[in-house]
Amino acid sequence: MRNASLWRALLGVENTVIEDIEFDELEEVVVAHVRPRRAARGRCGRCGARASWYDPGEGRRRWRGLDLGTVEVFLEADAPRVNCPTHGPTVRQVPWARHSAGHTLAFDQQVAWLATQCSKSAVTQLMRIAWRTVGAIITRVWADTAAGIDAFAGLRRIGIDEISYKRKHKYLTVVVDHDTGRLVWAKAGRERATLEEFFDVLEASGEGRCAQVTHVTADGAEWIANVVRERCPQAVRCADPFHVVGWATDALDVVRRDAWNDARRAGNTKVYGWAAGRRLVVSTGHARALKNARYALWKNPENLTENQQAKLQWIAQTDPRLYRAYLLKEGLRTVFRLPPEEAAEALDRWIAWARRCRIESFVKIQQRIAKHRAEILAAIDHGLSNGLVESVNTKIRLITRMAFGFRSSDALIALAMLNLGGHRPGLPGR
């Protein structure tokens, strides 16, 4: 193997002429002087179309390559501009790096792989770059990956949800394919316009693809239901069972808090001391017991500890109203365990029970459940929920936590798509 071929293999470049290799003793880096082969010269850096020479640009420039051992490596070459018929004067295309990038393709590939496997500190220390640079790299790697695949092919059953990724109410809207488990699409925002953008992209990827969607699961949010109803009128809309039972759990907690406040007003408190010039008052007796009953009321009966079972029996004996609210919550949960042919009648009975229960929070909840009756029964009939979507949301939260947050939603979306979109990057040369 000749020296030029050896250096091309070490640098991970193709269609490149190695002119010279030098070691910069001042900066302690290896500099490879390169140029594109004749067949790869004279193309637009943006679109790759053949273009005539325009001017020498800003002279020679460098691209960071993969390290050789402990030594940093740079590729140095001329960066003239060509006159593209579409984009006008543009820096010419080079075979070893993307347009406007300061790193080689192999460097980008390794950083993208590391970002899907390691924490923020590991990537930045190993590759000797800033985390903001990692975000830029994974964004352009995912852009190239997305351009070469059809992420919406065969999309039939989807789940839609939103996830908070940053403080001050910063949300992502995510779409997951129920059949493959892939994250299909994500975008910053949780409003009607955000979801409409997804269906616009879906239809633009292939005519009639919105009409091919057969099932949509969601959490009952009106902005999701309205858009799905307009863009996919043929799709079966399914209400997520976890969120529906969560409505009842929230209503139960309202009753528990009311009972706790009533007990405190009845005198079940004592002064515990002073702090910051304010008197500390703590619950005692019946009020304290109710405060500690939260998890006994929330948990499923089969998961209760012995102490929590005893707490539940105590509530049944001392607070019939709160215990009736607990039974209403468990009754709704039972509906989702029934076979489809029995679920409709059971749900109607539950709605009638909640309507006349004289517990304000459950009277309101039954109105909401009656409104979503068709979607709830569809979820039971087809066995669909947003459990898969919630799993993807949990992984996105893990990605955010490992990275200690993201300044840009674009970088988070790119990394989430690389991790969860079914097209994880590989290591260069493998």
d(C-alpha 269, C-alpha 281), whole Å: 6
> SS3 of 88, please?
strand
N- to C-terminal Cα separation, the chain: 21
CA distances from 39 to 36, 56, 157 (A): 8, 19, 46
Task: With beta carbons less than 8 A apart as the criterion, state whether 287 and 267 touch.
Answer: no
Looking at residue 183, its pLDDT comes to: 96
Look at residues 285, 278, 295 and name the one whose alpha carbon lies nearest to residue 260: 285
3-class DSSP assignment, residue 181: coil
- pLDDT, position 1: 38
Q: Which amino acid is at 314?
A: W
Sketch the domain layout of the chain as residue ranges.
1-102, 104-240+385-430, 241-374
SS3 (DSSP) at 326:
helix
Q: Report pLDDT for 409.
A: 86
- Per-residue pLDDT 10s for the chain (430 aa) are 358 888 998 999 999 999 999 998 889 999 999 999 887 678 999 998 999 999 999 989 999 999 999 999 999 999 999 999 999 999 999 999 999 999 999 999 999 999 998 887 889 999 999 988 998 999 999 999 998 899 999 999 999 999 998 887 889 999 999 999 999 999 999 999 999 999 999 999 988 999 999 999 999 899 999 999 999 999 999 999 999 999 999 999 999 999 988 888 887 777 777 777 777 777 788 888 887 788 999 999 999 999 999 999 999 999 999 999 999 999 999 999 999 999 999 999 999 999 999 999 999 999 999 999 999 999 999 999 999 999 999 999 988 887 766 777 888 899 999 999 988 898 988 8
CA distances in angstroms from 179 to 2, 212, 261, 418, listed in the order given: 51, 14, 47, 19
Task: Calculate the alpha carbon distances from 201 to 135, 236, 410 in Å.
Answer: 24, 21, 17
Question: How many Å apart are CA 419 and CA 117, to the nearest integer?
Answer: 9
Regarding pTM above 0.85, the answer is: no
DSSP helix/strand/coil, 15: coil
Residue 375 pLDDT: 95
Identify any residues that bridge with 81 across adjacent strands, giving them in sequence order: 55, 91
Residue 266: in which H helix or E strand, if any? Answer: none
Asked if 381 and 340 touch (Cβ cutoff 8 Å), the reply is yes
Thinking of the domain 104-240+385-430, which architecture would CATH place it in?
A: 2-Layer Sandwich (3.30)
